[in-house]
Chain A
Amino acid sequence: MTPTLPPPDDKTSDTSMSRRNFLRGAAAFGGLTALAASLAPLRQLEDFSSSEQFLQKYYKELTPDDMTKVIGRIEREVQKEYGIRPHVRDLKPMDGVEFVYCLNLTRCIGCRKCVHACVNENNQSRNPEIQYIRVLKMPHGSMDVEKGDHTYEAKSVPEKGFFYMPVQCQQCQNPPCVKVCPVNATWQEKDGITVIDYDWCIGCRYCEAACPYWARRFNFTKPEIPKERLNPNMAYLGNRPRKQGVMEKCHFCIQRTRAGKYPACLEVCPVGARKFGNILDPESEVSYIMREKRVFIQLKEEMGTSPRFFYYFDK
C-alpha cells in the first residue's frame, strides 16, 4: 500500500500567482487610467506658460538687452491675442519727482466717471470687471468707512445729506503690501509709486490681505478685454494686459504720468476734484494745496502707512 501523497501544489500556486499578477496589473492599469482621466481638464490649458514666460527673469534683474527682448515678446503676445500692435515702454521714475494725489471732498459729486476712465485707460478685465477706484457714499459728518455705501445707485448725484469719497491705492510711504510679499514682486519706486511685476507675482494674495485700503485686485480668471477697447499705449509696470492668477492695482497711470501727463481719473473728473503732481516742486499745484489748505486727511492715518494720497476740503 502506497501512501497517498497530497497532489503537488505547484500548479495551484502557479495559478494563484498568475491570478495575483493579473489583478495587480489590472489595478495598476485602472489606477493609471483614473489618474489620466482626472487630469483631463488640463488639455484646455492654453499657453499657460511658454518656456520663455516660465523662465522670465525678475524685473530688477533684467539687463537693457533682456528688457528689449521681453518687450518684444509682450508686444507679440498682445498682437496675437488682440490683433493690435501695442507700444510697450519701460518708463523709469524721473529724478526729483515724487508724486502726490490730492482729492477735494467738497467737490466730488460721486459720478464714478473716474472709475470707468481708469478701467479704459489701464486695460482692466471687463469680464469680470476689475476696478481700481471704489467710490463710497458717506453720510454727512463721518469719515468712518463702515458707514459708506459702496453700491449706491441714484438717478442723479450728488444726493443731499451725503458726501462722496473715492478710494484707490494710496501709494503709501510705508506700504504694508510691499512688506508682506514673499517674492518681492511688488515694491515702491523712487517717485513714490508702488508697482507690481506681473511676471513675477505668484498670486498668493497676501498683499491683498495686508492692504488697509482694499486697493489691490486679483485676476481670478483670464482677463477679458474687447479688442476694440484695448489701450495700445502701455507700460511694463503699468497697464499692459495681465495674466490669470496675478495681482494688479492703481499705479497712478504710470504710462501717462511718467511721460508728463495727468492720470486718467484726473482728466475725466468733471468738477476738478482731483489734483496730481510733484510734491518736490514748490510750484506744483499739489504743493500749493498742501501749503494753503487747512486740513488734510490721510485715510486711516493711525495705520502708520503714511499715504501719498490726501483728502482735503474747501472751506
Chain B
Amino acid sequence: MITAARNYLIFIRRCTRIAFVGDWRYYAWMGLLTVISLLGLNAYAKQLVHGLIVTGMSDEVSWGVYIANFTFLVGVAAAAVMMVIPVYIYDNEELHDLVIFGELLAVAAIIMCLAFVTVDLGRPDRFWHLIPGIGQLNFPRSMLSWDVIVLNGYLLLNVHICGYLLYCRYQNRKPGKWFYIPFVFTAIVWAVSIHTVTAFLYVGLGGRPFWNASIVGPRFLASAFTAGPAIIILALQIIRHFTRYRITDKALLTLRSIVQVSMIINVFLLLCEVFKEFYSGTTHGVSARYLFLGLHGYHALVPWIWTAIALNLVAMVILVLPVSRGLRWLDVACVLSIVGIWIEKGMGLVIPGFIPTPLGAIVEYVPSLNETLVCLGIWAFGLLCYTIFLRMSVPILQGRIAKSNEGQPELQGDAPAPLPDPLPH
C-alpha cells in the first residue's frame, strides 16, 4: 500500500517535472499563454470589484460571450466521444492510441467551461449554495442543476479514464478492463447528455421563442460533432509535427469522415430552422429576423451570422470534395468549421435569444474590452492545461517516461528515448 502510494507520488512528480521541460519553442508558447492567462485574471479581478457592469451585458441582454463560449466548449468536450466510439465500439485500430488525446481535450474543455460559468456569476463567493447537502441544489427542476451535475461528472469520468490508462502505461501494465471499460461506455452516453442538457437549458424557456424550439438540441449535437473532431484533427497534426508520436494519415482521415458527415447534418438542420422561422412569418420569428436581416435599423449580428454561414458552407464543400483527403485542405476545412461554429453558437445562438426582449425592446450587445480579456484569459488557460496534458502524456505513451527508467536522468526536450539499461542498478 505504502509502496503503491510512493510509486504514484513519483509518477506525479515526474509528470510535473516534464511539464516544465522543453525546447525554446515550448517555453515561448507556455510563456505567452501564461501572460494572456494573467491578463485575463487581472480583468476578472476588476470584474469582481466593480461587478458585471464592466461587461457589455445588461438587463436586456443578460448573457453574453461568457455563456456563448461555455456553450461552444461543452460541445468540444462532448465531441471527444466521436473518437471513443470508433475505437471501443467498432474496434478501429488506427485511432486506438489517439483516444486519450481526445479525452484530455475533453478535460481541458470542461475546465474552461467551468471557468466560463464561474466568471458569469454575480456572486461566485456563493458557489457552495450549489453543493447538495450544505447548499440547495434545485434538482431535478432546474436545468442548470442538471448541467452542474453532468459537467462535473463528465470531468471526473474523463480524469479517471485518462489518469488510469496513463498510469498503467507508465507501469507497463495491461489496464484492468473493469477499471475503465465501464467508465468509457458511461462516458459515451454522458457526453451526449452534457450537450443535450446544455441545449435544454435554452430550449426549456418558453418566454424565448428563438430558443424554445426542439431543433436546438439536435443542432447542438451536430455542430459539436463537427467542431470537436475538427479541433482534435488540428491537435493531432500539431502533436505529429512537434513530437515523434506515431499518428497515421488514416487516423486523421477517419476523423475527417466524422467531421464531413456532421457538417452536412449541421447545415441541413440550419436550413430547417431558417425555413421554419421565415416561411411561417409569425411574430415568433422576430429574433431570427434580427439575427439574419436586422430589425428596425439594428443589425449588429448580421455580419457575424453570414460570416459563420459562409465559413460553414465553404468548409462543407471542401470536406465533401476529395481534395480534403490532402491534409493541408483538411486543416483549412477544420479551421473554417471551428470558427464558423464558434460564431454560430455564440453570436448566433445566445445573443439573439435576448433580442428583442420579451417586452419587445431592442438593446444590442457588444462585449467590452474587459470581458474579452477574461475570455482570452480562459482560452489561454485552457490551452495551457491541454499543452501540459500532452507534454505529460506523449512521453508516457512512448514509453520514455516509465517505471522502468525511474531514477535515471530525466529526458530533456524531445530527444529519442535511450535504450533501456539491461543491467540492474
| Residues in chain A within 8 A of chain B (CB atoms) | 31, 34-35, 37-42, 44-45, 48-49, 54, 58, 128, 134, 136, 144-148, 150, 167, 176, 179-185, 200-206, 208-214, 216-222, 243-247, 300, 303-305
Contact = CB atoms under 8 A, between A and B. Distances in A.
Contacts of B60: 214
A45 B201 CA distance: 33
Interface string B192-203: 000000000100
B82 to A, nearest CB: 29
B121 A210 contact: no
Given A202-B122, A206-B144, A210-B205, A183 B130 contact: yes
Contact of B359 (A39, A183, A213): A213
Given A182-B145, A183-B130, A41 B45 contact: yes
B366 interface: no
Contacts of B143: 180
Given A206-B142, A214-B357, A244 B283 contact: no
Interface string B166-189: 000000000000000000000000
A181 B42 contact: no
B141 A218 contact: no
A136 B357 CA distance: 13
A176 B205 contact: yes
B26 interface: no
A211 B207 contact: yes
Nearest to A198: B123
B365 to A, nearest CB: 13
A244 B42 contact: no
B38 A209 contact: no
A220 B142 contact: no
A304 B206 contact: yes
A205 B122 contact: yes
Nearest to B47: A41
Contacts of B353: 209
Contact of A38 (B41, B59, B204): B41
A247 B59 CA distance: 10
B136 A183 contact: yes
Interface string B132-153: 0001111001111100100000
A145 B286 CA distance: 12
B358 A200 contact: no
B23 interface: no
Interface of B: 34-35, 38-39, 41-42, 45-46, 48-53, 57-60, 62-63, 117, 120-127, 129-130, 135-138, 141-145, 148, 201, 204-208, 283, 286, 353-354, 356-361
Nearest to A136: B359
6 contacts: A180-B144, A206-B201, A208-B59, A220-B58, A221-B50, A245-B51
A146 B123 contact: no
B283 A146 contact: yes
B46 A303 contact: no
A182 B144 contact: yes
Contact of A218 (B52, B144, B356, B359): B52
Given A181-B142, A182-B145, A202-B130, A48 B207 contact: no
A112 B46 CA distance: 36
A128 B58 CA distance: 11
B48 A49 contact: no
Contacts of A49: 125
Contact of A219 (B51, B58, B129, B357): B51
Given A145-B359, A205-B120, A211-B207, 16 more contacts: A34-B38, A35-B41, A38-B45, A58-B129, A146-B283, A146-B360, A150-B360, A182-B144, A184-B138, A202-B130, A204-B120, A209-B354, A214-B358, A220-B59, A245-B122, A303-B207
A35 B136 CA distance: 34
Contact of B123 (A58, A184, A245): A245
Nearest to B49: A44
Contacts of B57: 220
A30 B376 CA distance: 21
A184 B144 CA distance: 11
A182 B138 contact: yes
Given A183-B135, A202-B122, A48 B358 contact: no
A208 B207 CA distance: 10
Contact of A35 (B38, B53, B148, B205): B38
Contact of B130 (A58, A182, A304): A182
B38 to A, nearest CB: 4
A95 to B, nearest CB: 26
Q: Which of B135, B136, B204 has the most chain A CB within a 10 Å cutoff?
A: B136
B41 A39 contact: yes
A124 to B, nearest CB: 12
B361 A150 contact: yes
A147 B360 CA distance: 7
A288 B417 CA distance: 89
A141 to B, nearest CB: 15
The 9 tightest CB contacts between A and B, nearest first, are A203-B122, A212-B207, A245-B122, A146-B360, A221-B51, A38-B42, A221-B53, A182-B144, A220-B53
Q: Which of B53, B129, B359 has the most chain A CB within a 10 Å cutoff?
A: B359
